[in-house]
Amino acid sequence: MSEPEHFDDVERIASHTRALWSDAAARVNTARIELFAKTSHRVRLTRELGETGVLFDRSIESGLAVRAIRVGHDQAGFAATSGLDADAIRWAVDTACTYRAQAPAAVPSLSEIAAERSDLDAPTPLPAEEALTQALLKRPNLEWLEAGTTIEILIGVDGWLAARRRHRFWALDGADARLIAQRGLDGWEERLDVEGESGADASPRGSRGSDELILTPRAAAPVVAALVARFHGSRAVPRGPAGTGWTVADDPAIAGALAGGSFDDAGFPSTRRELAAGGLWVGRLSGPGTFRRASFRDIPAEAATNVVMVGGAGYSLPAGGTIVRRARVIQSSGDVWVLELTLDGDSSGGVDRRRWLRIDPATLLDRCVAGLGEQRVTADGSVVPSLVFRGLGVS
SS3 for 59? Answer: strand
Segment among 10-19, 356-365, 372-381 with least mean pLDDT: 372-381
pTM: 0.90
Q: Identify whether the C-beta of residue 67 lies closer than 8 Å to the C-beta of residue 266.
A: no
Tens of pLDDT, residues 330-361: 998 888 999 999 997 654 455 668 899 999 99
**Class of domain 10-196 (CATH, top level):** alpha beta
User: Which residues contact residue 230 at a Cβ distance below 8 angstroms, ignoring those fewer than 6 apart?
Assistant: 236, 334, 361
At residue 224, φ and ψ (nearest 5 deg) are: -65, -45
Q: Identify whether the C-beta of residue 212 lies closer than 8 Å to the C-beta of residue 322.
A: yes
- Split at pLDDT 50, 70, 90, the class of 315 is low
Mean pLDDT of 261-280: 96
Write down the mean pLDDT value for the chain. 90
What is the spatial distance between Cα 36 and Cα 298, in angstroms, rounded to a whole number? Answer: 11
Tens of pLDDT, residues 201-211: 444 454 445 67
Segment among 7-11, 49-53, 176-180 with least mean pLDDT: 49-53
Tens of pLDDT, residues 87-100: 999 999 999 999 99
What is the spatial distance between Cα 27 and Cα 23, in angstroms, rounded to a whole number? Answer: 7
Tens of pLDDT, residues 271-281: 999 999 999 99
Question: Please, what's the b/e burial string for 174-202 (b: 16 or more CB within 10 A of its CB; e: otherwise)?
Answer: eeeebebbbbbbeebbebbeebeeeebbb
Residue 1 or residue 321, greater confidence: 321
What is the spatial distance between Cα 22 and Cα 20, in angstroms, rounded to a whole number? Answer: 6
pLDDT at 48: 86
Task: Give the start-to-end residue ranges of the domains of the chain.
Answer: 10-196, 200-390
Residue 39 burial by Cβ neighbours in a 10 Å radius (0-12, 13-18, 19+): buried
- Split at pLDDT 50, 70, 90, the class of 175 is confident
- Split at pLDDT 50, 70, 90, the class of 313 is low
